[in-house]
Amino acid sequence: MASETLTKEATQKKDEKETLKKVSIVISRGTLEGVYPGLIMANGARMEGIEANIFFTFFGLNAIHKKKMKKIKVDTVGNPALGIPPIVGIIPGLNRMVTKMFIKEMDKLDIPPIDEFLEMIAATGAKMYACKAAMDMFHYKREDLIDEVADVLTVGQFYEVAAGGEIIFT
């Protein structure tokens, strides 16, 4: 009898659709292939009605740095996904060429440039935060960042914001 009750409860729980309510995404890489996955995931979360927070740390801060955000490129050195030997990745101008190709393909999919994408995501209600330790390490100031950044947080403060949701590293 007890096992029958447990089976009914397990089946009932399986039938109930479990939905994610909050996600916090950590962007730590300052390359196009490091930044875009997190932005796409945050945008997708908001489109599904899921609360989304984005925490930019280390080189990921470049995505929200006013002077650096438009200079982010694809990493061609040591990027096995490109299928080119690491030594070839150092050829001058290769990362610029690969970046142009990457952006052209994203344009075909109607994926906006980083600055526009950040504005769009912020307009949906997603919150963006900068990592205080990384800001201090790179000597960045709050005024270096785009206006859409809600705050500069310590890791502990980020955990408070992320509490009750999933944390995803891209």
Residue 13: pLDDT over 60: no
Domains contained in the chain, number: 1
Q: Is 81 part of any domain?
A: no
pLDDT for 60 equals 98
Residue 6: pLDDT over 60: no
Q: How far is CA 28 from the centre of its chain?
A: 8
Q: Is 100 part of any domain?
A: no
Residue 3: pLDDT over 70: no
How do residues 114-136 score in pLDDT, each as one tens digit?
Answer: 999 999 999 999 999 999 999 99
The mean pLDDT value for 99-122 works out to 94
pLDDT for 103 equals 92
CA distance 106 to 24: 24
Q: Is 54 part of any domain?
A: yes
| DSSP per-residue codes, 21-63 | -EEEEEE---SHHHHHHHHHHHHHHHHTT-EEEEEE-GGGGGG
Q: Is 57 part of any domain?
A: yes
pLDDT for 14 equals 54
pLDDT for 120 equals 97
Q: Is 158 part of any domain?
A: yes
The least confident of 24-28, 86-90, 156-160 is 86-90
Q: Is 28 part of any domain?
A: yes
CB 73 within 8 A of CB 96: yes
Domain of 45, in residue numbers? 23-74+113-169
Identify the CATH number of the domain in which residue 125 sits: 3.40.1260.10
Q: What is the pTM of this model?
A: 0.85
Average pLDDT, the chain: 90
Q: Is 89 part of any domain?
A: no
